[in-house]
Amino acid sequence: MGLLSIIRKIKKKEKEMRILMVGLDNSGKTTIVLKINGEDTSVISPTLGFNIKTITYHKYTLNIWDVGGQKTIRSYWRNYFEQTDGLVWVVDSSDLRRLDDCKMELDNLLKEERLSGASLLVLANKQDIKGALTPKEIAKVLNLEAMDSTRHWRIVGCSAYTGDGLLEGFDWLVQDIASRIYVLD
């Protein structure tokens, strides 16, 4: 009871979810969002700033914040942490050289208190590219098993190019958030 129940009630009314998409540059965040929304993905410039997409997904309204991943603007990610229900961490599975960077940035993100309640979906993107690491290998490199036991997380392999795996990932994310926030009275 108390504040939490009030927050739950308000959220229940709106059936809204706030989802933050982050990851290194060139990982395919914008392409994923556009692909899910059924938009053209053939011309996408590297994101300077951020994009917001509101998508109706099943009976929920997803507010997806797609924030640019270039090094210069990563420090601005923190401006988007507030009230995030779901965190999507996108990995370029074919970029082996920068997996260390990727792990470091993710670790920093997960230390963030404002994101401590958010469900984490790791998308191992670019599975269609020959030579990409499998989701299992990515999970090992990112050391996901060692994560705080209170975190709800899952890794899904996907391809923003073909669309494979995207729905599987978002289905899990939305279900997980729904079961957490919209608990039946």
Partner 1 sequence: MEDEEESLSSNPINGGTQSESLDRARQKKHVAMLERLASRHQTRLENSLKSAETDSSSSSTLGFESTSSFLSRFADSRRSIEAQIAQCRLTNPSESTQLKPQLDSISASISDLEKLVAENSYFLPSYEVRSSLKAISDLKQGLESLSSDLVPKKKFSFKNKAPKKEREKDPSIETNREKEKEAEIGKPEKMSFRVLESPGFRDKKGEVLVRRFSGSEIGEFTISDLDSCEVRLMGCVRALFVHRLRNCRIYGGPVMGSILIEQVEGCVFVMASHQIRIHHAKATDFYLRVRSRPIIEDSSGVRFAPYCLSYEGIHGDLQEASVGEETGNWANVDDFRWLRAVQSPNWSILPESERIGLINISNSDNEAEEI
Annotated binding residues for GTP, written as ranges, equal 23-30, 69, 125-128
Q: Cβ 43 to partner 1, closest distance in Å?
A: 5
The strand order across the sheet containing 86-92 reads 50-57, 60-67, 16-23, 86-92, 119-125, 153-157
Write out the binding residues for partner 1, residues 43-102 only, by CB under 8 A: 43-46, 48, 70-73, 94-97, 99-100
Question: What does the alpha-carbon distance between residue 3 and residue 87 come to, in Å, rounded to a whole number?
Answer: 23
Neighbours of 71 (CB within 10 A): 10
Q: Known binding site: residues?
A: 23-30, 47, 69, 125-128
Catalytic annotation, residues: 70
- Position 29 contacts partner 1 (CB under 8 A): no
Is residue 161 within the footprint of partner 1 (CB under 8 A)?
Answer: yes
- Which of 129, 162, 179, 183 binds partner 1 (CB under 8 A)? It is 129
73 burial level (CB within 10 Å; 0-12, 13-18, 19+): middle
Give one word for 136, left, alpha or beta, with left for phi > 0 and alpha for psi -120 to 50: alpha
The string of DSSP letters for 111-163 reads H-GGGTTSEEEEEEE-TTSTTPPPHHHHHHHTTGGGS-TT--EEEEE--TTT-
Amino acid at 49: G
User: Does position 143 bind partner 1 by CB under 8 A?
Assistant: yes
**Closest by alpha carbon to 146, among 90, 106, 87, 91?**
106
Stretch that binds partner 1, among 39-47, 52-60, 79-87, 174-182 (CB under 8 A): 39-47
Q: Site for partner 1 (CB under 8 A): which residue of 38, 42, 59, 149?
A: 42
Q: Does 126 bind partner 1 (CB under 8 A)?
A: yes
Judged by CB under 8 A, the stretch of 4-12, 32-40, 59-67, 81-89 that binds partner 1 is: 4-12
Contact between 40 and partner 1 per CB under 8 A:
no
Q: Which residues of this protein are in contact with partner 1, per CB under 8 A?
A: 1-3, 5-6, 9, 25-26, 42-46, 48, 70-73, 94-97, 99-100, 104, 113, 116, 126, 128-133, 140-141, 143, 161
